[in-house]
């Protein structure tokens, strides 16, 4: 997969409904209107209905008649109602609008009406990187702060599941560190070594996995050649798994703000339904791609 635009090239006969919490924002509504025009589905909007209508008016847009608008007293109630719509089968995808991530996740994880399963929830970014001429999946730079090895195993399985939904038959997974050799003083290399052992024992199926790998050894064939890294993953990684949240967050934002022409989409995997979760600062394009990404997972 070379471009996120490929996400928009799909045929669907089903009208997917997406529950959006707090969409009172031009970038969010812009993504919803474009997704609707592309035939991706329709939307249930939970939040300040008057403000939603006002923002749409400012954009010169008319809210389609099959959009459902539901008034909520505040952001917390908007998230609660959106989650209940998904858990009750009224919508197939949950989406975060202009609200803190912690608020919507708290509702999504609610034991009474949430959409949690026995899987771990993890965030996966799909990044289009022009300097590579392809897309790379990155996880987890948004959810789990300091994952244990068992958690990293689940993070990897979630990312592999998404990669397969995108057409990667046997994705190549790099477990990131700063070096390629195991160092007892560097915890990330120990994590990578233990994940390698789990993969070798068949506990992380459906992929080729290698670590530890530095970013250059994972993405640059030339760097991998110079370093003499003997693995099919080296220089050709489809998925990057990070040892700590700071690594994934910094890597993603470095790409988005420091490189020319990158694009991204992001969702949470592991719940009963895909959760579209992008930064409040992300463009409507990133939110549109994220909606399309979630639909691919249905």
| Domain(s) of CATH 3.40.50.10950: residues in the chain | 4-117+271-296
Q: What is the pLDDT of residue 286?
A: 94
Residues of the chain with CATH 3.40.718.10: 122-258
pLDDT tens digits, one per residue of 268-294 = 999 999 999 988 778 899 999 999 999
Tens-level pLDDT at each residue, the chain (298 residues): 999 999 998 666 567 999 999 999 999 999 999 999 999 999 999 999 999 999 999 999 999 999 999 999 999 999 999 999 999 999 999 999 999 999 999 999 999 999 999 999 999 999 999 999 999 999 999 999 999 999 999 999 999 999 999 999 999 999 999 999 999 999 999 999 999 999 999 999 999 999 999 999 999 999 999 999 999 999 999 999 999 999 999 999 999 888 888 999 999 999 999 999 988 778 899 999 999 999 999 9
Q: How many CB atoms lie within 10 A of CB 83?
A: 28
C-alpha–C-alpha distance, residues 109 and 122, integer Å: 13
Which residues are CB-neighbours of 110 under 8 A, at least 6 positions away? 80, 83
Cis peptide before 140 (omega within 30 of 0): yes
Q: Which two tokens stand for residue 231?
A: 């693995």
**Cβ-contact 152, 172 below 8 angstroms:** no
Instruction: Match 């991706």 to its residue by tokens.
Output: 40
**Polymer length in residues for the chain:** 298
**SS percent in the chain: helix, strand, coil, step 5:** 40, 20, 40
Place of tokens 């030339």: 222
What are the pLDDT digits (tens) for 163-218?
999 999 999 999 999 999 999 999 999 999 999 999 999 999 999 999 999 999 99
Main-chain phi, psi angles of 165, to 5 degrees: -65, -25
Select 122-258's CATH number: 3.40.718.10, 3.40.1790.10, 3.40.50.9100, 1.10.260.30.
3.40.718.10
Fold (CATH) for 4-117+271-296 = Rossmann fold (3.40.50)
């Amino acid at each position: 997969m070379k471009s996120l635009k490929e996400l928009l090239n799909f045929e669907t006969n089903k009208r997917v409904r997406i529950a959006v919490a707090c969409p009172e924002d031009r970038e969010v509504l812009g993504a919803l209107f474009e997704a609707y025009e592309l035939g991706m589905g329709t939307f249930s909007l939970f939040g300040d209905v008057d403000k939603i209508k006002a923002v749409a008016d400012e954009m010169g847009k008319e809210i389609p008649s099959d959009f459902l608008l539901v008034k909520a007293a505040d952001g917390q109630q908007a998230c609660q109602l959106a989650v209940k719509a998904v858990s009750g089968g009224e919508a197939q995808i949950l989406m975060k609008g202009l609200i803190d991530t912690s608020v919507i996740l708290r509702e999504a994880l609610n034991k009474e009406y949430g959409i949690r399963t026995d899987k771990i929830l993890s965030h996966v970014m799909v990044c289009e990187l022009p300097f590579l001429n392809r897309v790379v999946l990155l996880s987890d730079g948004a959810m789990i702060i300091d994952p244990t090895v068992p958690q990293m195993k689940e993070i990897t399985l979630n990312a592999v599941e998404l990669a397969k939904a995108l057409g990667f038959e046997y994705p190549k997974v790099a477990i990131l560190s700063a070096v390629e050799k195991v160092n007892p003083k560097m915890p990330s290399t120990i994590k990578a070594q233990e994940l390698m052992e789990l993969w070798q024992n068949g506990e992380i199926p459906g992929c080729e996995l290698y670590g530890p790998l530095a970013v250059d050894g994972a993405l640059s064939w030339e760097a991998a050649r110079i370093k003499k890294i003997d693995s099919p993953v080296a220089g050709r990684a489809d998925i990057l798994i990070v040892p700590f949240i700071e690594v994934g967050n910094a890597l993603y934002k470095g790409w988005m703000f420091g490189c020319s022409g990158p694009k991204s989409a992001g969702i949470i995997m592991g719940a009963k339904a895909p959760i579209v979760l992008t930064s409040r600062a992300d463009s409507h394009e990133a939110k549109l791609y994220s909606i399309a990404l979630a639909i691919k997972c249905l």
